[in-house]
Structure 1
Amino acid sequence: MNIIEVNNLTVKYDNVTALDDINIKIKKGEFLGVIGPNGGGKTTLLKSLLGLIKPNIGEVKINDHRPIGYVPQFSNFDRTFPIKVLDVILLGKLEGKIKFLHRFKNTDINKAEEIMHSLGIYKFRNRQISQLSGGQLQKVLIARALIMEPEIMILDEPTASLDANSKTEIYNLLKRLNEDKTIIVVSHDVGVINSYIDTVACLNKKMHYHGDDTKLSKRTLENVYGCPVELIAHGNTPHRVLHVHDEEGEEI
């Protein structure tokens, strides 16, 4: 069963094409990784899936009645805002306009505590978010999405700026959540993509690759990034994007 269907999706900003005739079908329970260069349309694709952008051509079909759980990059989250972990998670329960002095139900608080226990962050429930590490804050943002009880989770660079141990911890968590949720992750980490996901979509305005084979070849990556890519094997096959070279071999 396809839980998401993207058909002939084209999105333009004025005369600039951000997405060009994108077609992709995402199955229920799939763990999809989306990779591609900066400016390749990954954020626009996420906004289209979330219904925040109306396409110029084509459509996005979401075959699920529940809200989509969205986890932004934690580096874009204002960590100086004076708010506790529990309160951040409860924000996921707010719908529409926020009433002054809004009080959450006990069932909401109990649900938030249940999620915190499952993610191993309950001990931080009363801690200010400014006191959290990057990995801890990322778990809090995941918890905020989970309290909506979504069928679909969309995460934008969930391990950006995290150390290797935190990356592994976050992706092991996502793999566990994938047991009963559809997961879509945007990432620059090809090593992670190869290690955890079921399918991969390579995006640079056009969708260059999508299928059940998650083994990314050097040629596939070069087609996507538009420049030479060096694959360096260190277990999970991380990569390094090299400078574009001219015909004489000089860097451009």
Structure 2
Amino acid sequence: MKKRALCALAGLALCVSLTGPAYAAESGVSFEVNGTPLVQEFTSKVENDTTYVSYWPIVQAIYPDATAVWANGQAEVTASGLKLELKPGAKYIVANGRCLYVPTGVKLEDGCVMVPVRTLCTALGAQVVWNGEDGRIAITSGSGPITSGDSFYNQEDLYWLSRIIYAESGNQSLEGKIAVGNVVLNRVASTQFPNTVYDVIFQRNQFTPASNGRIQKTPTAECVIAAKLALEGANTAGNALYFINPSISSSSWFSRNCTYVATIGAHAFFA
């Protein structure tokens, strides 16, 4: 019997069967997977230059053995070598323990869980090619799903990055947490600072939590997620190398000597 995702929460379905492509006309984009057009049971739309798609038809086309259930307020997909979690409203998806950034959030519309097509295909290990001449997105299977988080993340970097994020911005938004992670990683990449996450964090007179012991506190789940997102390349702070909380620290030195980048929550960021 053909495996299907099941209806889930408050009468909302996982969008596994549709009578027609409700958003296809809106998006003006056609899709194919491994050369086969996706026409039935598929929806898409373009929002802020991001093409969103209903995840299930693409998952099933690439992984015919896939199953999906609704649990813990999210779609949970299992296939050979793949575990995928898509939570409506979340600004990331989880694939094999890795967190992939979705700045505009996972959508739930008319019972359909929808995600950016490129983010979904990254999780699936598939390639995406845009053909502007005929408005077609071609998706091609790769050698398998995304590498697991256990293999991809340097565990020492993840350990310390999640802790400095928690110590410096545990009460900030996800974007603010990512931004603190960005500052650390920008320093690692800069010749002005040490070249490891640990050495950047523990460089003398740089991060107060490293000297007062707060760095040792166990981070929240969202701080770990923010660290993973930063390590994946999510960036909310540009090329910033410094941040301060203007309500408790003077920004005059930074204003005179650095380039202002952004203010996110309680922190101002400078390069």
TM class by shorter chain equals under 0.3
TM-score, length-scaled by structure 1: 0.27
Larger radius of gyration: 2
Relative contact order: is structure 1 or structure 2 higher (C-alpha 8 Å, sep ≥ 6)? 1
TM-score, length-scaled by structure 2: 0.25
